[in-house]
């Protein structure tokens, strides 16, 4: 068989997997970078995003329901993120182990709630006609849904970079990240900034959930599949750096996709873990060494 | 309303089990500059942190402009009109000079979105290096930036913790001129922690001396010489 014919589509596949890893990891990286908080229920934001897409499609049928689902899922999961932050994360500030356990518990509760509400086998979000096909570019067959995933990821990342770089809130976020005490002394409401960051991270995971729904059914444990690679991406990226997170997502996404040419999915996932461990042996600080909570762009 | 902009009434503070400030009674008259002096480790920085809300007061009350601010958080105190130039300066290392100054606007009540021109008039150097990252500046430049950032919030009370520490004389002179300007032209009330008594005496109207977490002596810098209190600062 022609190896290029096998490699190129799989490379493209890898890019879309990397995109999903990245969207799932961004929220984890942001909240770890800013608050040193690990939210074990972050995967459930993806799952909720998927169900919100399904609900949106019931209200807005037709070709562009899926586009409408993106802001709905963003806002819906951001709102739930706000509740999680105010009800749990903020109350457990400076108690990392308790935060870990409480958010893990929340993750189980959310999965069970989804099971009770929508059934154990999950629901199907049917991609509209304009997304279910594929087209050929330079001899490579490109599925439209996967192209949408990549485009959306670029847009979301550009949006976050612009938020951090060009807005007042972004300036506040960077100031809090660099020197929390001094930021509060200049009049910045640190808790409000943390809340905003947590909401944005949750919202982005919700968007990832919509895109994920284009590739497979939305199940109560849909988030679990992507959250483990997302954690690996954050660790490999350097714990909180967006550049590092993006590079790590790219490496791991391409790696799993290419590994799947030769081995099955579960072996590929295991190899990914081995890769991350080896990488951290060589470069323990991650792709980008984060300088004292420096959440760079 | 009294002539005091800030007053502390029996304030204690500390870290964990160790108490550092003991029943401090202390007041800052409106529009005056007060120098806070004392040896290393007597609690000067702790007192400033407690006023700013960076450390909680364990006992007592803090009144600012007649209002009880003891339970307000740090950013609320900043927005009420208290600004700090902390020991070690604490400029945001990965923000540019301009962004550092913009961050100070968060405390303003008038919603102004631009850095006031007078800050660049006081510290022309900041205009020249406005696109440089805070962490790359020299100590003197960082000190000017930290003062500029505090002034950007249009405070009524300016707290400064050893602003001349490790700064060369020509920059010290600039800092002195700037502080004199904001006090006389803008009516700002100033509390400055200072080991360098000549500087403190040139700038301040009043002094307060600390020992062992208490205010032990207060007076007028015009009626007492720095030499008379030097033993409270130097061993
Ligand atoms: N974060 C902290 N944790 C525990 N103890 C502290 C802390 N910061 C200061 N202290 C202690 O509190 C006491 C007062 O410290 P503080 O910094 O207020 O002194 P200072 O008068 O500002 O001294 P200096 O002139 O050296 O700046 C010291 O004994 C110091 O060791
Ligand atoms: Mg001190």
* pLDDT tens track, chain B, 235 positions: 568 999 999 999 999 888 999 999 999 999 999 999 999 999 999 999 999 999 999 999 999 999 999 999 999 999 999 999 999 999 999 999 999 999 999 999 999 999 999 999 999 999 999 999 999 999 999 999 999 999 999 999 999 999 999 999 999 999 999 999 999 999 999 999 999 999 999 999 999 999 999 999 999 998 888 888 888 887 6
Burial B102-134 (b: 16+ CB within 10 A, else e): bbbbbbbeeeeeebbeebbebbebbeebbeebb
Does the structure show a pLDDT above 80 at A78? yes
Which of B155, B141, B135, B4 lies closest to B65 in space, CA to CA?
B4
Of the candidates B78, B95, B150, the beta carbon closest to that of A178 is on B95
Alpha-carbon span A75 to A81, nearest angstrom:
10
Which whole number is the average pLDDT over A15-19?
90
Chain-centroid distance, C-alpha B22: 21
pLDDT at A264 (0 to 100): 84
pLDDT at A257 (0 to 100): 84
Alpha-carbon span A51 to A35, nearest angstrom:
28
Q: Structure tokens of B155? A: 């405070």
Residue with tokens 């979301």: A156
Does the structure show a pLDDT above 70 at A236? yes
The residue whose CA is least distant from atom 26 of ligand 1 is B40
The residue whose CA is least distant from atom 28 of ligand 1 is B41
How far away, in angstroms, is B157 Cα from ligand 1 center? 22
Chain-centroid distance, C-alpha B115: 20
**Residue ranges lining ligand 1, Cβ < 6 Å:** B 15, 20, 38, 40-46, 87
Which whole number is the average pLDDT over A93-112?
92
Does the structure show a pLDDT above 90 at A2? no
Does the structure show a pLDDT above 50 at A297? no
Chain-centroid distance, C-alpha B54: 13
DSSP per-residue codes, B36-80: EE--TTSSHHHHHHHHHTSS--SEEEEEETTEE-TT--HHHHHHH
pLDDT at B235 (0 to 100): 65
Alpha-carbon span B204 to B173, nearest angstrom:
14
Going by the DSSP 8-state scheme, the letter that residue A127 receives in this structure is P
Alpha-carbon span A149 to A56, nearest angstrom:
18
Domain borders along chain B are 4-232
pLDDT at A292 (0 to 100): 45
DSSP per-residue codes, A215-230: TS-B-TTHHHHHHHHH
Residues of chain B neighbouring A187 (CB-CB closer than 8 A): 75, 78-79, 104, 106-108, 153
What's the fold here for domain B4-232?
Rossmann fold (3.40.50)
Which of A197, A246, A37, A295 lies closest to B93 in space, CA to CA?
A295
Does residue A5 or residue B160 have the better pLDDT? B160
Supply the angle between the helices A168-178 and A3-35 in degrees, to the nearest 10: 70
Alpha-carbon span B171 to B194, nearest angstrom:
15
Name the residue in chain A with its Cα closest to that of B101.
Answer: A186
Q: What is the ipTM of this complex?
A: 0.94
pLDDT digits (tens, 9 = 90+) for A262-280: 888 888 888 888 888 887 7
pLDDT at A294 (0 to 100): 44
Would you say A238 and A290 are in contact if contact means Cβ atoms under 8 Å apart?
yes
Percentage of chain A lying above the pLDDT 90 cut: 50
Geometric angle at alpha carbon A289, from A287 and A293, rounded to 5°: 130
pLDDT digits (tens, 9 = 90+) for A125-180: 888 888 888 888 777 788 888 899 999 999 999 999 999 999 999 999 999 999 99
Supply the angle between the helices A96-118 and A42-59 in degrees, to the nearest 10: 30
Domain borders along chain A are 15-221
Which stretches of chain B are assigned E, i.e. beta strand?
4-15, 18-29, 33-37, 59-64, 67-68, 82-85, 157-161, 189-193, 206-211, 214-220
pLDDT at A151 (0 to 100): 94
Does the structure show a pLDDT above 80 at A289? no
Q: Structure tokens of A172? A: 């506040």
Alpha-carbon span A34 to A84, nearest angstrom:
16
Residues of chain B neighbouring A90 (CB-CB closer than 8 A): none
Which of B148, B74, B142, B79 lies closest to B110 in space, CA to CA?
B79
Q: Is B220 helix (H, G, I), strand (E, B) or coil?
A: strand
pTM of the model: 0.91
CB contact under 8 A, A187 and B52: no
Alpha-carbon span B27 to A84, nearest angstrom:
43
pLDDT at A248 (0 to 100): 87
Confidence of residue A293 (pLDDT cuts 50, 70, 90): very low
Residues of chain A neighbouring B95 (CB-CB closer than 8 A): 171, 174-175, 178
Query: Which ligand lies nearest the alpha carbon of B19?
Result: 1
């Amino acid at each position: 068989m022609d190896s290029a014919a096998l490699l190129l589509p799989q490379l493209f596949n890898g890019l879309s997997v990397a995109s999903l890893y990245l969207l799932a990891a961004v929220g984890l990286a942001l909240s770890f970078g800013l608050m040193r908080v690990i939210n074990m229920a972050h995967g459930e934001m993806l799952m909720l995003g998927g169900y919100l897409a399904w609900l949106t499609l019931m209200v807005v049928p037709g070709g562009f329901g899926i586009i409408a689902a993106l802001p709905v899922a963003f806002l819906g999961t951001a709102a739930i993120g706000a509740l999680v932050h105010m009800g749990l994360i903020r109350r457990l500030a400076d108690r990392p182990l308790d935060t870990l356990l409480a958010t893990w518990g929340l993750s189980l509760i959310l999965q069970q709630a989804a099971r009770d509400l929508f059934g154990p086998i999950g629901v199907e979000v049917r991609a509209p006609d304009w997304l279910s096909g594929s087209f050929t570019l330079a001899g490579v067959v490109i599925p439209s849904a996967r192209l949408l995933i990549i485009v959306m990821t670029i847009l979301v990342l550009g949006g976050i970079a612009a938020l951090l770089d060009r807005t007042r809130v972004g300036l506040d976020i960077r100031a809090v990240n660099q020197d929390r005490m001094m930021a509060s002394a200049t009049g910045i409401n640190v808790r409000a900034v943390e809340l905003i960051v947590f909401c944005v991270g949750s919202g982005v995971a919700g968007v990832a959930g919509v895109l994920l729904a284009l590739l497979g059914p939305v199940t109560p444990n849909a988030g679990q599949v992507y959250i483990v690679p997302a954690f690996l991406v954050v660790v490999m990226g350097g714990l909180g750096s967006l550049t590092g997170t993006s590079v790590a997502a790219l490496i791991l996404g391409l790696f799993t996709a290419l590994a799947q040419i030769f081995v099955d999915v579960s072996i590929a996932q295991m190899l990914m873990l081995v890769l991350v461990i080896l990488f951290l042996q060589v470069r323990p600080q991650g792709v980008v060494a984060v300088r004292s909570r420096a959440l760079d762009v | 309303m009294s002539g005091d902009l800030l007053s502390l009434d029996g304030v204690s503070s500390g870290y964990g089990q160790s108490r550092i400030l003991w029943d401090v009674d202390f007041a800052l008259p409106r529009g005056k500059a007060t120098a806070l002096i004392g040896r290393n480790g007597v609690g000067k920085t702790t007192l400033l942190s407690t006023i700013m809300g960076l450390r909680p007061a364990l006992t007592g009350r803090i009144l600012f402009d007649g209002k009880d601010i003891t339970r307000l958080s740090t950013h609320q105190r900043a927005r009420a009109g208290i600004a700090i130039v902390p020991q070690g300066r604490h400029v945001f290392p990965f923000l540019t000079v301009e962004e550092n100054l913009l961050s100070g606007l968060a405390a303003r009540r008038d919603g102004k979105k631009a850095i006031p021109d007078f800050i660049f008039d006081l510290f022309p150097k900041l205009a020249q290096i406005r696109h440089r990252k805070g962490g790359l500046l020299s100590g003197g430049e960082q000190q000017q930036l930290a003062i500029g950032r505090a002034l950007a919030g249009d405070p009524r009370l300016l707290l400064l913790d050893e602003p001349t520490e490790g700064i060369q004389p020509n920059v010290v002179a600039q800092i002195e001129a700037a502080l004199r300007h904001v006090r006389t032209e803008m009516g700002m009330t100033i509390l400055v922690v200072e080991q360098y008594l000549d500087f403190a005496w040139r700038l301040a109207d009043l002094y307060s001396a600390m020992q062992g977490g208490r205010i032990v002596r207060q007076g007028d810098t015009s009626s007492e010489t720095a030499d008379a209190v030097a033993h409270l600062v130097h061993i």
